[in-house]
Each structure stands twice: as C-alpha cells, then as structure tokens.
Amino acid sequence: MKQHILVIGAGFGGMWTALSATRLFDLHDHNGVEVTVLAPQAELRVRPRFYEPNAHQLAAPIGELFDAVGVKFIKGAAETIDVQQKSVGYTDASGTLQAVSYDKLVLATGSRLAQSNTPGVSEHAFDVDQIEQAMRLENHLKSLANQPESKARNTVVVAGGGFTGIETATEMPARLRAILGESADIEVIIIDRGEKIGASMGAEISQSIAEASAELGVKWRVKSSVAAVDADGVTLADGQRIEANTVIWTTGVRASSLTEQIPAERDGQGRLHVDSHLKVIGQDDIFATGDVAYAACDDIGNFAMMTCQHAISLGRHAGNNVAAQILGVDPTPYSQPKYVTCLDLGAWGAVYTEGWDRQIKLVKQEGKNLKTQINTVWIYPPAADRAAALAAADPMIPVA
C-alpha cells in the first residue's frame, strides 16, 4: 500500500510543496507514495495582486498541472486535524463531511486578514484579502457611478499604511477615475498609526512613498487610527470625522486557524514553529509551510514574512524535505537570506529594494517594469508539463 503525503492548501506554499515532493520521488525513481492536495479550488489565487482591478481574473487554474505531474487533488475545505489518528476532516463540494488519512501532513493553509474589534468594520468596511472580498470591493466601486455626486461618494479611506494599504491606496485614483470620470474630484486618504508617511516600510523607501502619494493626490493621516466605521464613513480616535462611502481595511494578518489544532508552539500571528527542515517542532509527521510557518530564513535573526516571495521557497523546501524523510535521504535546510521588496505605487511607478533595511535599487518606471514582470510572470504556476514543472520545483532555485 502506498504511503500518503497530504498537503492542505493550494496557494504558493501548497502548490510548490506538492510539486517539490513529486520532484524528489521522481529523481529517486520512487513510486510508492501518493501526493494529494486538499483545497477548496484547483487554482492558485494570485493574492499579491488583489489590490488591482479585475480581481475575478486573478486566479490561475492548476488542475492540469497536478494531472501532468501525478498529484491527486481533492476539492474540499479542511475543518479538523486529528493528529493522533492522522486524519483530516473536510467538507466536500456537496457540503458533506468527509475524512482523509495521511502518513505525512503538510499544512499550507495560508493566512487571513485578522478580525478587527473596531466597531463597524465587519459590517461596513471592505478589504482585498481574499478574491471574493476583492471582487466585492470592485462591484461596490463600480456601483458608485450610479450614486449622486457627493464628497462621500468620491472619498475612499484606507485603514493601514503597510504594504497592502499603500498598494491599494495608490492604485485607487486610477480605479476611481475609470469609473467616475477623469474630472471627478476624488479623495483617497490613508489612516496610519506611524509617525510619518510610509514609516512601517523604512526611512529610505518612505521618501518614494511620500513622493508618489503627493503626485497621485493620496493623502495621509499619520499618528491616527480609526475608532469606528459606519455606513457613511469613519470616526478617528481623536474624534475627527471623514465622510466616505468606501472604507478599506488592511491592518493585521493571522495564520490559518487550523494551526491551533496541532499541538505545537505558535508565534504571535499563529504560525507554527518549525525546524530548519520545516518540520513542526514536536511533531514527527507534520510539516508547515508558507504563511503558517514561523521559519528562520537566515542565521542572523530574520524570519520568513507572510509573502509569496517566502511562500514559494518555503513550499519547495517543505515538499522536498517531507519526501526526503520518507526516502531516508538528506533534507535540504531552508535558507533564504536575500530579502527584496517591490512596492507598487500606482501611476507613479514602483520602488524596488534589496536587504532587510530596504535599500532602494529601482524607482518609478524601472521599478514598475520589474513589478509587472513579478506580478504577471514570476509568481504564476509553471506550465502543465511534467519535466518543466518538476524542474521548477527545485528548492535550490533562488526566488529573489
């Protein structure tokens, strides 16, 4: 009877885990293991692009890819993990509760925007965290054209000045003008707790963010926070009021709640502590990857971020190493010392940085060209060709 590796999740971490495990078995001419991916859809949802328009197009099918390499796919949503029985309970496409057993489990269920306890957020705010929410926002923006002209109609408030908030806000002027007309008197406002514009991104990059914001007309309310959201806008902590028909929430991310069902240590964001092989510490048969893994990416104290840059490499390593454990060969320790960012700044361009201190290397159109290459080519799945796909899953391939 074949051994069974079960991968929960088909995002960057999960997809590359399945391909990488299959690759190592292929290299060793070992066909005694079945690799299965359990996920709600056989598609890679390109989450880094959800701040863009046309969110419904930002999912790449991967069913043919899995077929080409011999990975089995189960369409369903994981609900429970029984570590003792080595079984995962899931709801299938018809809504029926099913179960699937495993010999080795790789958790790759990603992260979600953390629930906010700020009054009114769940009822009145939008977000771009998942594809359904991004589509909901887009439909709402399009509906603004049917509303009478008003300052609130033309105003968008973005709560949070981190990566997602900045990319969402700087893209918004072009999105609004495409809907409301080039002459529309629009206003986009970022509310952020930082001391200055782009403070969370570092001193050097903040200058580019400030320049882009000024050119695009994106305003910042720094040293501020949202106290409440309602149907007509936001109230800030200092009592100020901003009338806006559109409020977008971008603050706080947490790992999938499935991590809580595995007896192991977790960090403040819910990520499972893993060793250098991405095996969950204290669990012999469970690995974690992508946004659910708290993994050291170098030996000087830096840990993987919740980004596709890290999830791709984490996935390739997790798949390789779970297969290596079964084969009894040496694993490949996860290491990703190079860290880069490429921040989209709307019509102004983009800014590309290298290093954990984010040293600027490219700005404006040069940065935008690179960002476009990343967003439309580099992060997409490989073609449904067995040899090419498995070659692309080599954990030693640098992601950045």
Residues 147 and 271 in one domain: no
Q: What does the mean pLDDT of the chain come to?
A: 97
How far are the Cα atoms of 108, 141, 239, 251, 290 from residue 226, in angstroms, in the given order?
32, 21, 9, 11, 30
Domain count of the fold of the chain: 2
Alpha helices in 56-157 (DSSP H): 63-69, 121-124, 131-143
Residues 25 and 72 in one domain: yes
End position of a domain, from candidates 249, 280, 306 = 249
Residues 108 and 40 in one domain: yes
Per the domain annotation, does 360 fall within a domain? no
For residue 148, give every residue at least 6 positions away whose Cβ sits within 8 Å of its Cβ, in sequence order, or none: none
pLDDT at 399: 87
354-391 confidence digits (pLDDT tens): 999 999 999 999 999 999 999 999 999 999 999 999 99
Residue with tokens 């495990």: 21
pLDDT at 1: 78
119-157 confidence digits (pLDDT tens): 999 999 999 999 999 999 999 999 999 999 999 999 999
Per the domain annotation, does 370 fall within a domain? no
pTM for this predicted structure? 0.96
Question: What percentage of the chain carries pLDDT values higher than 90?
Answer: 98
83-115 confidence digits (pLDDT tens): 999 999 999 999 999 999 999 999 999 999 999
pLDDT at 176 over 80: yes
Question: What percentage of the chain carries pLDDT values higher than 70?
Answer: 100
The Cα angle at residue 309 between residues 307 and 315, in degrees rounded to 5:
95
Residues 82 and 181 in one domain: no
Per the domain annotation, does 354 fall within a domain? no
259-271 confidence digits (pLDDT tens): 999 999 999 999 9
Residues 12 and 107 in one domain: yes
Residues 263 and 234 in one domain: no
Q: How many Cα neighbours within 13 Å face the side chain of 208? A: 27
Residues 257 and 386 in one domain: yes
Residues 170 and 86 in one domain: no
Per the domain annotation, does 304 fall within a domain? yes
Q: Which long-range contacts (CB under 8 A, 24 or more apart) does 24-29 make?
A: 24/319, 24/320, 24/323, 24/324, 24/327, 24/329, 25/323, 25/327, 26/390, 28/327, 28/329
Quick one: which of 140, 159, 255, 160 has its CA closest to 200? 160
Per the domain annotation, does 359 fall within a domain? no
Residues 278 and 219 in one domain: no
pLDDT at 400 over 90: no
Residues 327 and 230 in one domain: no
Could you give the angle at which helices 163-180 and 131-143 cross, rounded to 10 degrees?
Answer: 30
Which tokens sit at 190? 């970022």
Provide the CATH number for the domain around residue 245: 3.50.50.60
Residues 125 and 241 in one domain: yes
Per the domain annotation, does 371 fall within a domain? no
Running DSSP on this structure, what letter comes out for residue 130? S
End position of a domain, from candidates 227, 249, 271 = 249
End position of a domain, from candidates 249, 275, 291 = 249
**What whole-number distance in Å separates Cα of residue 315 and Cα of residue 249?**
28
Residues 66 and 156 in one domain: no
Per the domain annotation, does 349 fall within a domain? no
How far are the Cα atoms of 106, 191, 295, 310 from residue 334, in angstroms, in the given order?
15, 37, 8, 10
Are residues 99 and 78 in contact, defined by beta-carbon separation less than 8 angstroms? no
Domain span at residue 224 reads 121-249
Per the domain annotation, does 342 fall within a domain? no
